[in-house]
């Protein structure tokens, strides 16, 4: 396992998140510092794996405009919860996870808290390559501060212990989880009980796109090495096509599961008690077909008031908006509700953008050239174009690609 600062790598750092759903799970090629294409995230992931590691290539919104208070992913300033890349809290509190703003790309990479205090043009400091993966598609942290990652070129899930993350120069997976049901895992999240949920995104084969599925794994304590495990739950939708090109999965505060896909944003109510293979009818669907701008939803995050925020893109994959739906829990059936607030996007910038809230309630958004922070997003309404309070640009090895995942890990207390 090797370690380097992002700015010093010779390889391209491709930050991957939600696959471009308009491309059936793929996404536009990332651009390097010279504008050239690197690789296309999301188009693979089904390469198979034996399960052995191998070598391969929050609180209420705040108006702190000048500072990025780094806390838990849910924006809860009073708790050190870990969570998923949708910016939502995990099962319990921990002080073991390394603090900062993390994302997945060719490697697992993270800004340290001191890098998030003001605008800059510095690349993130932390880089942990995962030798078995060509790209890290998603990362989630459990309640003990362990990082779980999935990515392109393996059907397995990799865990890096909290202890190893404190020493990134030697960090490597201590557990590799596989399953006969697990093909092309692409997204991760933990529920309030600590169970691991995984969404699959099958690659395009001969022009055909198969639907993904969502699985729950109850991983026994004390395991390390390699582990083959059957999913406790495997969810599908009662409506064909609902889970085509899954882009994001996360839980709201009521433990309803939200999914972004080619259809739009889907809410599956009360899935935690389900077992076996279950087809569920979504309790609500925010149908993208009801909007006039050919919108596609990518990342999803919830603020401290429970409002749902979604980064979105048009059919040409440009970042068009960040949309707030104020009361997502009240939605029923399939509809295209009016947004409470819409942050205008930059038509010249990829990607559709990852989202995360910090402990002060500030909203962070991933762009192709870096990350930006909007202070006091809860005060916004209607169509707005606020100036970011913080703008961190990156280049070269740290250039982001379509729909980069963002994940805050709390400051140790």
Q: Which residue has the higher pLDDT, 412 or 199?
A: 199
The b/e string for 132-167 (b: 16+ C-beta within 10 A; e otherwise) is bbbbbbbbbbbbbbbbbbbbbbbbbbbbbbbebbee
What pLDDT, on a 0 to 100 scale, did the predictor assign at position 88?
A: 62
| Tokens matching residue 306 | 């429970």
Is 152:134 a contact under the CB 8 Å cutoff? Answer: yes
Say if residue 296's pLDDT is above 60.
Answer: yes
Question: pLDDT tens digit string along 266-282?
Answer: 999 999 999 999 999 99
Query: What mean pLDDT, rounded, does the chain reach?
Result: 77
Q: At 95, list the tokens.
A: 């002080």
pLDDT recorded at residue 93: 44
For the residues 215-237, what does the mean pLDDT come to? Answer: 97
Q: What is the pLDDT of residues 157-209, one digit of tens each?
A: 999 999 999 888 899 999 999 999 999 999 999 999 999 999 999 888 888 88
**pLDDT score recorded for residue 194:** 95
Q: What is the mean pLDDT of residues 142-151?
A: 92
- Report d(CA 114, CA 385) in Å as an integer: 27
pTM for the model: 0.78
Is the pLDDT score of 402 beyond 90? no
pLDDT tens digit sequence for 5-16: 333 333 322 333
CATH number of the domain at 6-43+70-409, out of 2.120.10.30, 3.40.91.50, 1.10.760.10, 3.90.1150.10? 2.120.10.30
Q: Render pLDDT for 368-391 as a digit per residue (tens, 0 to 9).
A: 778 899 999 999 999 999 999 999
Mean pLDDT across the stretch 220-238? 96
Strands, E assignment, 281-345: 284-287, 296-302, 308-313, 319-325, 333-335, 341-344
The residue extents of the domains of the chain are: 6-43+70-409
Task: Name the least confident of 45-49, 237-241, 272-276, 302-306.
Answer: 45-49
Residue 70 predicted with pLDDT over 60: no
């Amino acid at each position: 396992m090797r370690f380097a600062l992002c700015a010093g790598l010779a390889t391209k750092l491709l930050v991957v998140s939600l696959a471009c759903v308009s491309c059936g799970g793929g996404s536009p090629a990332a651009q390097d510092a010279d504008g050239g294409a690197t690789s296309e995230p999301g188009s693979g992931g089904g390469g198979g794996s034996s399960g052995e590691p191998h070598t391969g290539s929050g609180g209420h919104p705040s108006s702190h405009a000048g500072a990025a208070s780094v806390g838990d992913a849910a924006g809860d300033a009073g708790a050190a919860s870990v969570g998923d890349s949708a910016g939502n809290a995990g099962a319990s509190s921990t002080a073991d996870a390394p603090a900062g703003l993390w994302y997945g790309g060719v490697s697992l990479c993270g800004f340290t808290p001191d890098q998030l205090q003001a605008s800059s043009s510095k690349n993130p400091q932390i880089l942990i390559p995962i030798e078995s993966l060509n790209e890290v598609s998603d990362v989630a942290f459990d309640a003990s501060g362990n990082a779980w990652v999935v990515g392109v070129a393996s059907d397995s899930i990799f865990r890096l212990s909290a202890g190893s993350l404190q020493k990134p120069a030697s960090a490597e997976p201590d557990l590799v989880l596989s399953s006969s049901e697990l093909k092309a895992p692409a997204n991760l999240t933990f529920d309030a009980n600590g169970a691991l949920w995984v969404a699959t995104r099958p690659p395009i084969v001969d022009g055909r796109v198969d639907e993904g599925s969502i699985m729950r794994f109850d991983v026994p304590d004390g395991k390390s090495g390699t582990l083959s495990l059957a999913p406790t739950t495997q969810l599908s939708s009662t409506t064909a096509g609902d889970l085509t090109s899954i882009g994001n999965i996360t839980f709201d505060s009521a433990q309803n599961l939200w999914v972004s896909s080619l259809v739009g944003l889907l809410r599956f109510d009360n899935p935690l008690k389900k077992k076996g293979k279950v087809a569920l009818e979504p309790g609500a669907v925010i149908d993208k077909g009801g909007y006039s701008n050919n919108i596609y939803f990518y990342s999803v995050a919830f603020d401290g008031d429970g409002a749902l925020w979604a980064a979105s893109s048009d059919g040409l994959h440009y970042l068009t908006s960040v949309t707030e739906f104020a009361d997502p829990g009240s939605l029923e059936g399939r509809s295209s509700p009016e947004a409470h607030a819409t942050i205008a996007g930059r038509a010249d910038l990829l990607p559709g953008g990852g989202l995360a809230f910090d402990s002060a309630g500030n909203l962070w958004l991933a762009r192709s050239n870096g990350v930006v922070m909007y202070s006091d997003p809860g005060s916004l309404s209607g169509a707005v174009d606020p100036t970011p309070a913080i703008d961190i640009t990156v280049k070269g090895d740290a250039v982001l690609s379509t729909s980069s995942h963002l994940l805050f890990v709390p400051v140790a207390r």
